[in-house]
A and B are shown apart, each in its own frame.
Chain A
Amino acid sequence: MAEPWEDDELEGPVRKFMYVNRRAPYGTIYALESLEVVLIAAAFEQDVTLVFMDDGVYQIKKEQNTEAIGVKNFSPTYRALEGYDVEKLYVEKESLESRGLTTDDLVVPVQVVNRDQLAELMEEQEVILSF
C-alpha cells in the first residue's frame, strides 16, 4: 500500500517557502538545520526559495575543508539542491561585498540581489523561515 505522501490524489497545496540563512556554517547548528528543513520542503515538492545574507553567505563559500576541526563539511549538499528542483538561490549583494566575497567564491550559481530587491522577494512569499 502506498504511503500517504506517495498518493498523488492526496497532493496538497504548493506554497511559496523562503528560507533565510543568516549564520556562518560551523559556529552554530543553524546552517545545517536549515539545510535539513529545506530538503524536507523539497521532498514535499514545495516552491522553495533560499536566501543567503549576513554571515549566511559563508555557508556557500567554496573550498571548505573541515578535516582538521572534526566536523562534517556539508557545503557539497548545496550543489545537490538542483536535483531536488531547488533552484531559486539568492544572495544579498551588500552581505557579499562587506565580506570581500564575489559570486566566484561560491559553490553554487546564485542570483545576487540588493536589499530592496530582497525585501520585495520576501513580500512575495507565503511562509518565511529564518535561520
Chain B
Amino acid sequence: MPMLHTVNKSPFERRTLDTALRHAVKGAAILLIEDGVYAAFDGTVVADKVRAALADHKIYVLGPDVTARGMSEHHVIDGLEVVDYGGFVDLVTEYDKVQSWL
C-alpha cells in the first residue's frame, strides 16, 4: 500500500492540503485531522477541489475532530469516510508509512 498523508491545518488558512495532494501518488490516502477537517465539509469554497481529489485518493476524516467543531457526518462531502480513533490506528497499520504534513 502507498502512503497515508495526514493534514491538520485549515485549508482556508494554509496551503498544507494543496501541498499534500500535489505530493500524493495515485492510490495514496489522505486523512484530515484537527483543523484539517474543515476541508471535509460540503458547501465551502474548497469542496470541489476535495471532491476532485477523490478520483485519485481515498480521503478520510477524523470524526472526533468533526463533532468538536460543531459539524456532523451529514456536512461531510459524499465519498469521504469518517473514522474514529480506532480507525485512525487501522489506517496507520494498513498503509506502508505515514507522512504528517504540518
Whether A25 pairs with B69 at a CB distance below 8 angstroms is yes
Say yes or no: B70 contacts A62, CB within 8 Å.
yes
Which segment of B4-12, B22-30, B89-97 sits at the interface?
B4-12
A26 near B10: Cβ-Cβ < 8 Å? no
CB of A47 within 8 Å of the partner chain? no
* CA A65 to CA B44, docked complex, whole Å: 21
Name B's interface SS: loop
Interface size for B (C-beta < 8 A) is 25
Chain B residues contacting A20 (CB-CB under 8 Å) are: none
For residue B81, which residues in chain A have a CB less than 8 angstroms away from its CB? Answer: none
Contact indicator B69/A100 (Cβ below 8 Å) = no
Q: Is the interface of A mostly helix, strand, loop or mixed?
A: loop
* Distance (whole angstroms) from the CB of A3 to the closest CB of chain B: 38
Complex Cα spacing A71 to B45, Å: 28
A58 at the interface (CB under 8 A from B): yes
CB of B70 within 8 A of CB of A98, answer no
Q: Which residues on B sit within 8 Å (CB–CB) of A98? A: 12, 44-45
- Interface size on A, as a range, is 20 to 34
Contact A64–B41 (Cβ < 8 Å): no
In the complex, whether A13 has a CB less than 8 A from a CB of chain B is no
State the CA gap A28–B70 with chains docked (Å): 16
Complex Cα–Cα for A69 and B37 (A): 13
Chain B, range 52-102, C-beta contacts under 8 Å to A: 63-65, 67-72, 84-85
With A55-B10, A55-B12, A99-B12 as known contacts, state yes or no: A26 contacts B42, CB within 8 Å.
Answer: no
A24 & B69 in contact (Cβ 8 Å cutoff): yes
Residue numbers in A under 8 Å from B35 (CB-CB): 24, 26-28, 55
- Contact between chains at A26 and B34 (CB < 8 Å): yes
* Apart from the given pairs A24-B69, A54-B13, A61-B71, 19 other A-B contacts in the complex at a CB distance below 8 Å: A23-B13, A24-B10, A24-B13, A25-B69, A26-B34, A27-B8, A58-B70, A61-B69, A63-B70, A64-B68, A64-B69, A65-B68, A66-B68, A68-B84, A69-B64, A75-B70, A98-B45, A99-B41, A100-B47
Instruction: Report A's interface with B, CB cutoff 8 A.
Output: 23-28, 54-55, 58, 61-69, 71, 73, 75, 98-100, 105
